[in-house]
Structure 1
Amino acid sequence: MNMKSLILALVFMVSSYSAPAMAFTGGSFAACDAPQVLTYIQKRFTWTDRMLLKRGLAIDSIERPHAIRGRNMVASSSVPRLYCHGTARMNDGHDRPIWWLIEGGMGFAGLRDNLEFCISGLDPFKVHGAWCRSVR
């Protein structure tokens, strides 16, 4: 494959990637309470529950979103990180603690920011460790 074909293939692959409602682009760091951040979390949770876990749960709203730690808290890390916390109001009437992490430049192919979140008691596979440890 020549260089031009390789570049075109890479551009096509990157442009055809579309994460659901991805709100972060080009290293601009969104705030914890940015509407696109909260909407992304709600949509991603609903999709995951509907397609994988099938519990019928959804996040009605995220209350009191705020940063708990800022950008480069680890001196050896060059990845900007923003740790956030709030309360998820669920459609089953329960309020649950929610934590999320925004990492600059850690999305697909390093072109976008990444967002990970965890709701206390609703991570049955411990993807984010016990008690949502990796996003706290």
Structure 2
Amino acid sequence: MRNLITSLKKAGPGAVLGAALGLFGALPAAQAFNFPVFGPGYEGRLPACEAGLPVITSEFWEKENNFWSSPLRITAYGNVHETAFRPWQSDNIPRRYCTADAMVSDGKIRTVHYSIIEDGGFASIGQGVEWCVVGLDRNWAYNPACRAAQP
């Protein structure tokens, strides 16, 4: 062993690297470890469409006020209805898709498409709501015409 070490010192760094790789190559193949995967257990219990409206009202005003310097607010909702519930296979995150008519403070009635997402809140705590007001998607996040906010 002593002769191996002294000969590697004389041989240089390339030989040391080659010897190290040779030793690791001679070891038996590492076996995969099965670690338990932790995460949310989706139950598919989502509130009705009306539960998302206060969030939309608040976030719409905040976005219009802070980012677009606009005085627009949503003042009322009507024709609130579900358009889809878990439209994809059951292994996906449960979502309830809804549509509503919103009365905006400029006097126009606009369509709002939104989804309520199980464990979709901040840090996966609580329900999350993604929404889009047709005609007021100024940053084109759900373009065209909020189609990306629908199932």
Q: How many residues align?
A: 108
What TM-score, normalized to structure 2? 0.66
Partner residue in 2 for 1:109: 123
Stretches (4+) displaced over 4 A: none
Q: How large is the Cα RMSD of the aligned pairs?
A: 1.8
Map of 1:96 onto structure 2: 110
Letter in 2 for 1:108: F
Q: Which moved more, 1:74-83 or 1:50-59?
A: 74-83
Q: 1:55 aligns with which of 48, 70, 81?
A: 70
Give the whole-Å Cα distance in 2 for the aligned partners of 1:48 and 1:115.
14
SS in structure 1 at match of 2:146: helix
Question: How far did residue 134 of structure 1 move?
Answer: 1.9
Greater relative contact order, per chain length (Cα 8 Å cut-off, separation 6+): 1
Quote the offset at 1:110 in angstroms. 1.8
Unaligned runs of 5+ in 2: 1-43
5 Å-filtered alignment, 1:1-136, equals: 28-34=45-51, 37-70=52-85, 72-75=86-89, 77-136=91-150
Q: Give the fraction of aligned pairs with identical amino acids, expressed as a percent.
A: 28
| Structure 1: gaps spanning 5 or more residues | 1-26
Q: Distance in 2 between matches of 1:44 and 1:97?
A: 16
| Whole-angstrom CA distance in 2 between matches of 1:38 and 1:56 | 19
